[in-house]
Structure 1
Amino acid sequence: MEQKEMKTGTLLKRFVPYYKKYTRIMVLDLLCASLTTVCELILPLILRYITNQGLKDLASLTVQTIVGIGVLYFALRIVDGLASFYMAYTGHVMGAAIETDMRQDAFEHLQKLSDNYFNNTKVGQIMSRITSDLFDVTEFAHHCPEEFFIAFLKTAVSFVILAGINLPLTVIIFVFIPVMAVSCSYFNIQVKRAFKKQRNHIGELNARIEDSLLGNKVVRAFANEGVEIEKFNRDNQEFLNIKRQTYKYMAAFQNTIRMFDGLMYVVVIVAGGIFMIKGLIDPGDLVAYTMYVTTLLATIRRIIEFAEQFQRGMTGIERFTELMDASVDIFDEEGAVPLRDVHGSITFDRVSFEYPDDHNPVLSNIDLKIRPGEKVALVGPSGGGKTTLCNLIPRFYDPTEGRILLDGQDIKNVTLQSLRGSVGVVQQDVYLFSGTVYENIEYGHPGASREEILGAAKMAGAHEFIMGLKDGYDTYVGERGVKLSGGQKQRISIARVFLKNPPVLILDEATSALDNESEHLVSQSLERLAAGRTTLTIAHRLTTIRNADRILVLSGSNIIEEGNHEELIKKQGIYYQLYTSAGEAEQN
């Protein structure tokens, strides 16, 4: 979705507060910039003095005077060198620190966003916003105040000195500057837009690469390597076209500056020469004047060259701001309190839900009470709202209407940390982090002792196979656990929940993707895990939930049947049809 372009002033207001921590460094950096500017601007004055004295009274220029001037200028160059070192080193470190702060803020904000944001945003775009988009912020954060401060200082001092030498000529020269600024503004705006297009397309390119690499097995299975290469080539060429457009505007921008640059030199040569002939300016003054104009033009050129870096930085800040402006839908309400001593009683009070992006009703007016320690199974056709109902309990989403109570407390009035700490989820699609088996189990309770982690693995029936791995608990599982089988990954995920030890457990088709042997082993682990906990099981294979205390049949956004296995079989309703159909499918 195309984002509305933000104004530069708005972006700067959002960015400037990041300097607050580094005020002292910034002040010293600008002080050093002042020193380097003074050192640069004093040379034309020295040459003006020597030239004019030489033409007027050469005898007044002694060797001692010249050497003294040389020593003074050399001392100034030492000061210039020290100041430049501070700017190049400490200034850049400050820029990198600001980039780090922004990336930290972006990552923390991402942790607060709901599933709805991630469902509608490509991971490649998110990665681009918190990595490459912020790379140019380091240079921007350092150079932006420094370059503009130096430019202002040089322009102001040059104007004062040039006006003192010859005011009419100075007025003519400085009239060109606003005309040049207006002429270049169009190209400057186009460059900014082109850079934003680049950033957006880099995100799309990242998303394309990620999608293809994560699905590489599917690509190879269908022999579609050529298709993926073609799609990538199309996106890659589009990126080249965007860069070509960017460079066209940059070239026009720089060429406009060079034309004005040449025009100003022509004015200095012609008008300055005429003024010298008429005795309105001394030769030494004209030399100094020319040097100051050169300094002024060099400053303008430097700002122009910085314009590319400026627009890159502003584009990075804009995309960062867009991410930070993504609304946090799920958050701690004011006055939220931590959950304590959770028993596991769950109540759905007239709960309805529809997804924000399509507004199709998924759940409608659900009334449900689950007792502490009760085993409840959810069955029904695909799309009936089983997973959605379970996702509402840990507040992955909030109900559109109604409320959910845990131990009699509205879950909106308790802290997310304590709520989600009380709910354990075992999903069909297990996600293991890149790291070791030990680290993945420890994720259930960071900082747990080794004895606790091994105990959780044993309860999950995972200890034996883990010890059979090459490096035991220190075995690297690969990205997304690719080095382990489905059953092994599932038992590690169960061990993770054992370690978490939550009073409420959600099993989301945890065995549906496993073979019979793995399903048997994992089912045993799940039975041990569910003991003594309030458990909601979303079942694909109905034979696995025959012993549930209660079975709920969801269809058409409502609970249409409710009871235990025997009761529902006797009714010969939807559950009976699902169960008998599943039995016939398994026999076949």
Structure 2
Amino acid sequence: MNKSYLSKYINRYKKQFFIALTFLILETMGDLIQPTIMSKIIDNGVKRGDMNYVLKLGGIMLLMTALGAICAVVRNIVSSRVSQSFGADLREDLYIKIQDFSFDNIDEFQDASLITRLTNDVNQIQNFSHGMMRVFVKAPVLGLGAIVMAFILNPKMALILLGVVPVVGIVIALNLKISYPIFTEIQKALDKVNGVMREYLAGIRVVKAFNRFDYEQERFRKVNQNLKGITLKGMRITAVFNPVVALVVNIGIVLVLWFGGLGANVGNMEVGKIMAFINYMTQVLFALMIMTRVLNMYIRAKASAERIGEVFKAENTILTKDAPIPIIGVKGQLEFEKVYFRYHSGSRYVLEDIDFSAKPGETLAIIGTTGAGKSTLINLIPRFYDVTEGKIKIDDIDIKDISFNELREKIGIVPQKVLLFTGSIKDNIKWGDKDATDEEVEKVAKIAQAHGFIMSFNEGYDTYLGQGGVNLSGGQKQRISIARALIKKPTILILDDSTSAVDLITERNIRKGLKEYLKDTTTILIAQRITSVMDAEKILVMDRGKIVGIGIHEELMKDCEIYQDIYHSQIGKEVHSLDV
């Protein structure tokens, strides 16, 4: 397994781990001694009719059984605590690592794969660690101990055991070599199942609206059948190797009975020792079967450990400086200087030669054709992605020189795709500021034109929202999202087409409220409707990742053909209705 990241957990829990192993070994030693005691009871007690001897050694066997049970209870308690704590710590550290990822990192791994690594892969390693403290270590100790005890009883007969072990070792090695790649594929197939399922649940309303159940069932059937096929392939290998191990060991038991019987007939072997030998052969069989199971679990855990290791090894593509520049009293002057951006090296530029500025208190509106790069541009401001070339500055400070926390604390974002969390409406608004008072929550809700519909609910601001705010309309979700951003009192406010689902009158009232509430805030507004941008102090027109026009409405109507096209395509529907 990958020990580079597991070493810290090994060091953290090694004392408790060794305590569990100590009790496990004591339990195993008791199991190993009992067949020898039993042979003495038969050969020295039962054979001679000495009941005192039988009762004495029988009492010792009972005592050792009781001590073994106590050791097993302690070992189970310690192993359960250690494995659960280890799993919880690993899962939490992995979650924190993913939280620190840039969008590039998340795009690389994919959401579904990260979910599988957080759940199934962590469980595989946790189960293996639990098994290590329960039966996995016991198996080799029991197997080796049984061979040693067999040699003490009868060295010649013990040679049968020495003949069995190498054959089984070869079988196990073949199992390991063949199985590992298959179990790695199983985890990847599980990623695909989770991906399809997650996509379906996220878009279930669209699926229902277009009645595409057959299509979705077929998609799921393909990935599910793929998972089934690969899993069956792995299980078939296990189904072949486990019986082979059992067959080899059982052949050894038959040989013990054969040669033991011959020895008993000529008086060279006592019946008690033959029974003890059979017990030791059974223990060896148990040990080898468990070790085969261990290796199967090890293969899965190793594959999972490497997948988790890939996440821990991944370097954040967006780095902050060791000594970032503190931003105190920031005003919100925003500048893009010859910015170029592409998502991956070698791919085409999504943004080219972006050069503009926005003053504190100014509203900069961005409009353009679909796919022009508007949302990509504003994703660069809070450093969800880093520029490929050029600089972005806030108050003449390169944002790469500012810590993530300080930079994002100054920015309020209303994303194009609104996401609300399970909880009350008040809780969702206070995501922007957990210390906000009820009065502040109500104030920003009024500015966002959300107070009215919130109070129409029986529970008001305490109304419980399902996952993603499923019990709200699109416009209601957008308004709560705006309130959530406003309560931060941001220096820079980014609105990414955040009023597309509200009516024109409500949108106008929101814009009016924003202007009064955030007089000194730099506002970046992306919109599809031209009426949303016409009043802005500066309008930036984009097409195919480039700025093709910049100025106020009147200037663009004279000089920018694309702006004119957008205006003429919408003017009849919206402008007259607002008397602009």
With structure 1 as the length reference, what TM-score do the two structures score?
Answer: 0.90
1:17 aligns with 2:5: no
Q: Which amino acid aligns with 1:575?
A: Y
Q: Which residue of 2 aligns with 1:291?
A: 279
Could you tell me how far apart the structure 2 residues matched to 1:473 and 1:207 are?
A: 35
Task: Quote the residue 2:126 is aligned against.
Answer: 138
Find the partner of 1:30 among 16, 21, 24. Answer: 21
Matching residue's letter, 1:204: K
Q: Which residue in 1 is equivalent to 2:502? A: 514
Between 262-271 and 25-34, the greater mean CA deviation after superposition: 262-271
CA distance in 1, matches of 2:109, 2:131: 32
- For the pair 1:118 / 2:106, whether they are aligned, the reply is yes
Match of 1:152 among 119, 135, 140: 140
Residues 1:121 and 1:484: Cα distance change in structure 2 (over 3 Å): same
Q: Superposition pairs for residues 38-117 of structure 1, below 5 Å?
A: 38-54=29-45, 58=48, 61=50, 63=52, 65-117=53-105
CA distance in 1, matches of 2:451, 2:135: 61
The one-character-per-residue Cα deviations of 1:247-284 (angstroms, maximum 9, x if unpaired) are: 21110011211221122213322344445556654443
AA aligned opposite 1:118: I
Map residues 124-523 of structure 1 onto 2, 5 A cutoff. Answer: 124-276=112-264, 281-356=269-344, 359-523=347-511
In 2 relative to 1, CA 281–166 (structure 1 residues): closer, same or farther, beyond 3 Å? same
- Which letter maps to 1:191? S
Per-residue CA deviations over 1:402-453 (Å, capped at 9, x if unaligned) read 2222122221121101111111111232111122101110111123333332
Is contact 2:527-2:533 (8 Å) kept? yes
Deviations 1:222-252 (A, max 9, x none): 2222322333333333333233222211100
Alpha-carbon contact 2:340-2:389 (below 8 Å) kept: yes
Q: CA deviation at 1:384?
A: 2.5
Aligned to 1:551: 539
**Does structure 2 conserve the Cα–Cα contact (< 8 Å) formed by 1:129 and 1:320?**
yes
1:26 aligned partner, one-letter code: F
Determine if contact 1:459/1:528 at 8 Å carries over to the other structure.
no
Name the SS of the counterpart of 2:571 in structure 1: helix
C-alpha change, 1:41 and 1:203, in structure 2 (3 Å) is same
Deviations 1:483-515 (A, max 9, x none): 112222111111111111110111111223433
Distance 1:516 1:274 in 2: 101
Alpha-carbon separation, structure 1, partners of 2:104 and 2:516: 33
**Superposed displacement of residue 354, structure 1:** 0.8
**CA distances 1:71-124 after superposition (whole Å, capped 9, x unpaired):** 322222222111111222331221111111111112111111122233455433
Length-normalised TM-score, structure 2 = 0.92
Q: Tell me the amino acid that sits aligned with residue 75 of structure 1.
A: L
The structure-2 alpha-carbon separation of the partners of 1:140 and 1:505, relative to structure 1 and needing over 3 Å to count, comes to same
User: How far off its partner does 1:343 sit?
Assistant: 0.8
* Whole-Å separation in 2 of the counterparts to 1:465 and 1:173: 80
Report % sequence identity.
31
Unaligned runs of 5+ in 1: 1-9
Residue of structure 1 equivalent to 2:553? 565
**Counterpart contact for 1:169–1:268, Cα < 8 Å:** yes
Once the two structures are overlaid, the 10-residue window that deviates more, 275-284 or 337-346, is 275-284
Offset of residue 26 of structure 1? 0.9
* Contact persistence 1:331–1:416 (CA under 8 A): no
CA distance in 2, matches of 1:291, 1:223: 64
Contact 2:336 2:355 in 1 (8 A): yes
Deviation at 1:204, TM superposition (A): 1.9
CA distance in 2, matches of 1:12, 1:572: 60
Equivalent pair of 1:147/1:303 in contact (CA under 8 Å): no
